[in-house]
Amino acid sequence: MNGPGTRRDGRSRGSRRQDASVHWIRVLSLATVVAAYGLVVLGSTVRVTNSGMGCPGWPLCAGQVGPIAQLHPLIEQSHRYLASLVTILILALAALAWRTGPKARHVRGPALVSVGAIAVQIVLGAITVLTDNAPVTVALHLAVGLLFLGIVTMTAVASFIGPEQSWPLPHQPGRLAWVTVAGLFFVLISGSLVVDGGAQSACGSWPACFGSRASGGLVALQLVHRSMVLIGGTLVVVYLITLLRKGSALHAQRLLALSGLALLAAQVTVGAFDALLGAPAALADVHLALASALWAVVVAVAYLSARGTRDRTAPVGSRDVERTVLSTAGREGC
């Protein structure tokens, strides 16, 4: 006979509650990634439309809580509201992961780091407003925002990893993965410096910079960014193609790698048109949106490469495990 609180399949109520918690952890982690990505893109809109000082005060916009009719204050206020939503989501995710216990052991670490990152991001956002959008604080604000997006992406990936699987992040992805992630991060930061330094339209030609009438400093900033794109883009292509050629790569990794290559191609194309058309605000916004999506995809691929083993005899990369991860992601991630 089954004991009190035990179903016919032998699972206790506590086990069922933990399974439900794991389900909600996955839902919350995916929602947080989407919201964090939207926050980075909306932050880009704030920058390229010069709406950063649309709300000179903080945390409220001109002392108002409700909608504002003017464009620039509305964009900045929407950015702050979305930041509040992201904060609520990550706090809820961290709390749930902590309460779930061992079944969420891969999620707890990155979720708690995310809480720290969003706290730093909120402080930087306030400092940016109070210092009238000083270029240094704006660049730091974006850098921490991208790091936060990367961490919540790792959290979402970790939520689909069974607790019985090892996940030795510092050792498994490989040197090429780490170098690629770092290189892509510096590409995004250099792009931010181009925007913050007013060098978006310093070079009207592409890929070289000929006949520019802009100051030498602005041209140099553009050339540094383009050089970083060449290096970072090459690293991304080499890393993703190397992964695609590996027979041990999970199907999810292959799909992400192909998506990353497509995003990179789109990103370079938009960057070229952005330069040739004089850096219109809408195109600059799309440029960063694609870059942020590429960043999240590359981080996800690298983090998936950290997979270890279920036990001493069954590799995590086996087809059975792969089907389990993908089927779960398909049911709960859509």
Quote the pLDDT of residue 322: 44
Quote the pLDDT of residue 300: 94
pLDDT (tens digit, 0 to 9) for every residue of the chain, 334 residues total?
455 554 554 455 556 666 788 889 999 999 999 999 999 999 888 887 877 777 777 777 766 666 567 788 888 888 888 999 999 999 999 999 998 888 888 888 899 999 999 999 888 888 887 887 777 788 888 889 999 999 999 999 988 887 777 666 655 778 899 999 999 999 998 888 888 777 788 888 888 888 778 888 888 888 999 999 999 999 999 999 999 998 777 888 899 999 999 999 999 999 889 888 887 888 888 998 999 999 999 999 998 887 654 443 333 333 434 444 444 444 444 4
CB atoms within 10 A of CB 287: 25
| pTM across the whole model | 0.81
Quote the pLDDT of residue 328: 44
